[in-house]
Amino acid sequence: MLDFSEKLYTLLASPYAFIQIRSYEERRVVQIISALANSLGRPVTEWSPGGGGEAELLKALDGASSAPEGTITILKDAHPYLSSPRVVRRMRDIEAGLSEGRRACILISPFVELPRELLKDVTFLDAPLPGRIELSVVFEQVYQEADGIPEQLAERVIAASLGLTLREAERAFKRAKFERSLAQRKADKSFDLEAAVVREKRRLIEADQILQFCELDVRIDQVGGLVSLKRWLGERREAFSVSAAEFGLPAPKGLLLTGVQGCGKSLFAKSVASYWGVPLLRLDIGRLFDGVVPPEAAMQRAIDTAEALAPSVLWLDEIDKAFGTQDGSVSRIMASLLSWLQDKTAPVFFVATANRVQHLPAELLRKGRFDEVFFVDLPGPAERADILRIHCERRGRDGASFDLVDLAGRTEYFSGAELEQVVVSG
């Protein structure tokens, strides 16, 4: 599979007039374009909006169409003006001339909302977040040999920065370096460089208020009952391993948990990441509509982060509430999610919970979106005893000192949440 640079190289070497790149990392993308243009022997010019707005963009498009053959024109943050009829018309007018002269206009912006008229004239390319190789270069720029970072620790710190942009990673590395120097002055041997980077990453990821970087604080053995579900999960425990990929096994896609409220669906969803030893990200759909960024762009940013952290678990709680309405923005977000679930190749395991499956759109339940759909019912007698034991032990009590079988018999039709309250109330 071609990486981003190879895909862009292919487009530049072919007669594509307009290329739209979605990325928050403008400087990184410009550097990649410049390097590719240099290898192709083609000149590069850049444009960014000033006070002239639409008129300036029209002038830049005219300049791109009359530039020397092979010129690559980079248009930064042109997206606010792309809905203008004059801009649309000008782009369609010059498209053929750009292709014939091996010229290209590359539009870079954090999010994309192309008018329908341009969908066939503009080729879209998504710039993924940086991988280990790019992040290792930044790490080596921040930490010199004199810093004495062992190689294994360096690899873990670089891995901990996955999911960040290059600028975010640089800031995280520098902050951790400063904290490390303070700890060394105080002779504090408990300082953990990897943990410091993870803390900063959590802060940066959660700053968008769309994703929550969850603690892996729920073990699978702290979830009572759900034997079939645990068995299913255990059979796929090695599915994200290198050996599984080399064997040709596809990574698990996801799991939909439906059923009675308060019966452990969310608790089990949290335990999946802990059991597999991968990061857990919780997606808050409601937050997508609260920010200044278009909801579809915010959704794509969340998916990009989950894929950059892969293997990882992306958890969406109460998906029936998120997609229970057919609002236009909600429908577009759901379409993006469905497309990703169907086509994704990154080892991101998607876990969704729902209390009312009848509120979910039929296309979400279609085979291929999730690996399996489980209904979580009220616990049976043995499961109730297991749940009571777990809650007793979590509160420092020995479950064996209670007649849990008798208690389980008295609590028929109790949910897991209600059983917890039985223990809490004594």
Q: What is the pLDDT of residues 110-135, one digit of tens each?
A: 888 888 999 999 999 999 999 999 99
pLDDT at 60: 94
Arithmetic mean of pLDDT, 343-371: 85
pLDDT at 335: 84
Burial of 125 (C-beta count, 10 Å sphere; 0-12/13-18/19+): middle
pLDDT at 426: 66
Average pLDDT, the chain: 88
Lowest mean pLDDT, pick from 179-183, 372-376, 409-413: 409-413
The token pair at 332 is 């577009």
pLDDT at 85 over 90: yes
pLDDT at 42 over 90: yes
84 Cα distance to chain centroid: 32
How far apart CA 153 and CA 16 sit, in angstroms, is 44
pLDDT at 326: 64
The token pair at 190 is 């408990």
Lowest mean pLDDT, pick from 32-36, 278-282, 288-292, 372-376: 288-292
Reported confidence tier of residue 175, pLDDT bands at 50, 70, 90: very high
pLDDT at 164: 92
pLDDT at 401: 75
CB of 320 within 8 A of CB of 361? no
Arithmetic mean of pLDDT, 198-211: 86
Reported confidence tier of residue 325, pLDDT bands at 50, 70, 90: low
127 sits in which H/E element: none
Arithmetic mean of pLDDT, 86-95: 95
Predicted confidence (pLDDT) per residue in 377-392, tens digit: 888 888 888 888 888 8
Q: What count of other Cβ atoms lies within 10 Å of the Cβ of residue 54?
A: 16
User: Tokens 């990453």 identify what position?
Assistant: 201
CB of 47 within 8 A of CB of 62? no
pLDDT at 314 over 90: yes
